[in-house]
Amino acid sequence: MTRRNVYRPLLFIIALLAASFILLVWLRPSGTVPSLGPEVQKKAAQEPVTPQSVEKPSAEVLSERIAEYHIDVKLDESNHTLFGEQTVTWNNPGQKTVNEIFFNLYPNAFQSPDSTFMKESGGVLREDRMPKDGYGGMTLQELTTVDGHSLMNRIEYVQPDDGNAKDQTVMKIRLPQPVKSQENITLKLKFEVKLPKIFARMGYADDFVMAGQWYPKIAAYEKAGVRGRAAEGWNVHQYHGSSEFYSNYGIFNVRIQVPESYIVAATGFPTKTPYIAGGYKNYQFYADDVHDFAWSASPNFVYYEEPFSAPNVPGVRIKLYLDPKHKLLKERYMYAAKTALAKFSHWYGKYPYSTLSIVVPPKSGNGAGGMEYPTLVTAFGAENDSPGYDLERTVVHEIGHQYFYGLIASNEFEEAWLDEGFTSYAEDKLMESEFGVVPNLAITSSYITDPAPLKLAAWRYKHQNHYSDNVYYRAKLVLLAIEKQVGERTMQRIMKTYTQKYRFRHPTTADFQRIVEQVTDRKWTDFFNQYVYGGQMADFAVESIDARTIEKDGAIRYEATVHIRKLGADYPNVPIVFRFTDGSTTRKVWDGDGDRMQYRLTHTAPLDWVMVDPLYTIVVENKHINNYMKAQIEEPARTRANLTVIKFIEAFTNILGW
């Protein structure tokens, strides 16, 4: 099936076929890498390949393709090493002449305990820990121009974020010739990657390999106006303990050699049938309009493939690479993937790629699980053969990243909430609508014990839990708070307008705010200043209750004066319930203006209790303990009734967090 099943007039068919043929010939590997063996084609083994699996590049251009990679890589499974050769062309998209170029050498994050990633993470990511003697790294063996001029003496390792001289994840090269506006430069690199033992996204576990962020990768270059830049330039960051990645879009043509028993999953689609030569199986993959390329390999994968089409999903081959422990769960993975593609494409715009691969690592490779790459995601490691809804939730979340990480490409170093928070919001929506899993928002908000601004560089959060509590949970709650105020239908318009307008365009927080204001036709400055740019949460408390008995015309009446106080950020339309001892209730709504509100109520029965937001509709309130107060309590306990119970509940919910 073609990469994008877009029907065009008959007059263009011949031209498109010709263009596709020319492009495919141009992308054909040169076969000039001696170490990769002779090109003797044999019968493909291990992985079944259907005619539809071998595809041709499309002539449609969706992004500004700034970089073009041609990579040959060979896996030596005996010493867990990748041997690679790379030709990369970088196109200067700006107006200024560029005299230096930056590469990210991300494998060097695992080079030693002194790298910035290792120092910040402490060798721990999520619940996975750096294995003993599990270090790895990248060695750059050659760097030349196309005419063979060596640039190795022009290399400098730089540390733009923290000045850590022992961190070698960013490489700067002084170019021998400047690259003028709209011109390009082509460089050739030869490199070797000693794979670390998996604990954070990449490496090996036994005979399972996850090659994520594995090649010398050109840093992002931003034109003036992109992400609000006043002047164009490089956007370069080291590999940090709590950050992910950011790159320009480009083209990847990658040949992967693995031992002949291995099966490979990769970004993009195969352009030829895998063949065996010299004891190695050769794969060829192509991807365009993507900003990264990842692959995984194992001799143990159980492979399945199914076609899928839906509105806004014109034709996708879903590919499963399952650990044997989960081979009987194929249908659950497939259903989750199909549902996610259909729903997210309806909500956030068409999925434009022809493949989607899902890799399920073995339990020993769980550190590679739960991660997203263009057209390829990983689930968590296969620990048992009867998992709960975490199986679907992980698949749904990572496919959600295909939209906010893949098609929008926010800067995850500087504004991670635009990816993780938006994906978490979308994940909850789908899990509730398709699987009936309703999020407990009161529990989620209780995680936020140390709120911080969402537009904060990822490495500026105090630790990994502080990062995740804010970038995942608080960010999701902020989006839900907008939805609660405008309604679900309007929120759908906001999200669809945002994802369609900024497709392939690297938007910012300010861009999203403008969309919210455009769709709702009102200013949201105060809300964004407090909840997004600031680190505030809502906090409404029942401050005090003054009760007295009055007699009028021989009748006894009961009067209560209730004081409500705003201790946190602003929030409109605060619901309050007053309960009387005769079982009747009175409901009020405070508009949230000012710091305090007073209510005086007179009734035939005494006031029993008062509660602010009894249904927990203010999703950005994280301190519910002061929302409730009893009007009359026994001495000497002149404090809130049910305090012990509420403290127990909050303690319990905090235990559930991570």
Torsion of CA 54, 58, 64, 67, to 10 degrees: 40
Token pair belonging to 639: 């404090």
pLDDT digit string (tens) for 178-192? 999 999 999 999 999
Would you place residue 48 in the very low, low, confident or very high pLDDT band (cuts 50, 70, 90)? very low
- Helix axis angle for 417-435 and 475-486, nearest 10°, is 60
Eight-state DSSP code of residue 405: I
Residue 58 has a CB neighbour count (10 Å cut-off) of 21
Q: Residue 110 and residue 329: Cα distance in Å, rounded?
A: 34
**pLDDT value of position 633:** 74
Eight-state DSSP code of residue 122: T
Q: Are 542 and 611 in contact (CB under 8 A)?
A: yes
Q: Are 313 and 346 in contact (CB under 8 A)?
A: no
Which residue, among 351, 344, 286, has the nearest Cα to 313 in the 3D structure?
351
Q: Residue 219 and residue 584: Cα distance in Å, rounded?
A: 64
pLDDT exceeds cutoff 50 at 30: no
**pLDDT value of position 127:** 84
In the chain, the amino acid numbered 565 is R
pTM value? 0.88
Burial of 43 (0-12, 13-18, 19+ CB in 10 A): exposed
**pLDDT value of position 134:** 94
High-pLDDT (> 70) share of the chain, % = 88
Could you give phi then psi for residue 198, rounded to 5 degrees?
Answer: -60, 125
Please tell me the number of Cα atoms within 13 Å of 4 on its side-chain side: 19
Q: Residue 274 and residue 45: Cα distance in Å, rounded?
A: 8
Q: Are 181 and 225 in contact (CB under 8 A)?
A: no
Q: Are 164 and 158 in contact (CB under 8 A)?
A: no
- Average pLDDT over the chain, rounded to an integer: 90
Cα 292 versus chain centre, distance: 13
Q: Are 125 and 200 in contact (CB under 8 A)?
A: yes
Beta bridge partner(s), residue 307 = 317
Token pair belonging to 658: 């991570």
Q: Residue 393 and residue 430: Cα distance in Å, rounded?
A: 9
Q: Is 322 left (phi over 0), alpha (psi -120 to 50) or beta?
A: beta
Token pair belonging to 469: 């509590």
Would you place residue 634 in the very low, low, confident or very high pLDDT band (cuts 50, 70, 90)? low
Q: Residue 248 and residue 234: Cα distance in Å, rounded?
A: 11
Q: Report the residue count for the chain.
A: 658
pLDDT digit string (tens) for 96-127? 999 999 999 999 999 999 999 999 999 999 88
Does the N-terminal peptide bond of residue 38 adopt cis geometry, omega within 30 degrees of 0? no
pLDDT exceeds cutoff 90 at 46: no
- 529-560 burial, b at 16+ Cβ within 10 Å, e below that, comes to ebbbbebbbbbbbbbebeeeeeeeeeeeebeb
Q: Which residues contact 134 (CB under 8 A, 6 or more apart)?
A: 110, 196, 197, 199, 203
Eight-state DSSP code of residue 197: B
Output 16 or 175, whichever has higher pLDDT: 175
In the chain the first and final C-alpha atoms are separated, in Å, by 43
Could you give phi then psi for residue 639, rounded to 5 degrees?
Answer: -150, -170
Output 46 or 215, whichever has higher pLDDT: 215
**pLDDT value of position 5:** 35
pLDDT exceeds cutoff 60 at 619: yes
Q: Report how far apart, in Å, the C-alpha atoms of 523 and of each of 143, 188, 430, 516, 517 are.
A: 52, 51, 29, 8, 6
Assign 3-class secondary structure to 577-619.
EEEECCCCEEEEEECCCCCEEEEEEEECCCEEEEEECCCCCCC
**pLDDT value of position 327:** 95
For the segment 361-389, the average pLDDT, to the nearest whole number, is: 95
**pLDDT value of position 569:** 98
**pLDDT value of position 42:** 37
pLDDT digit string (tens) for 275-311? 999 999 999 999 999 999 999 999 999 999 999 999 9
pLDDT exceeds cutoff 60 at 66: yes
Q: Are 515 and 495 in contact (CB under 8 A)?
A: no
Signed CA dihedral, 405, 410, 412, 416: sign only: negative
**pLDDT value of position 32:** 34
**pLDDT value of position 385:** 83
Burial of 595 (0-12, 13-18, 19+ CB in 10 A): exposed
Residue 646 has a CB neighbour count (10 Å cut-off) of 16
Please tell me the number of Cα atoms within 13 Å of 430 on its side-chain side: 30
Q: Report how far apart, in Å, the C-alpha atoms of 256 and of each of 183, 207, 628 are.
A: 30, 16, 62
Residue in the structure block whose two tokens are 């529990």: 443
For the segment 252-279, the average pLDDT, to the nearest whole number, is: 97
Token pair belonging to 108: 């060097």
Q: Which strands make up the sheet holding 607-612, listed edge to edge? A: 585-590, 574-580, 607-612, 628-630
Q: Report how far apart, in Å, the C-alpha atoms of 19 and of each of 13, 24, 43, 448 are.
A: 10, 9, 29, 54
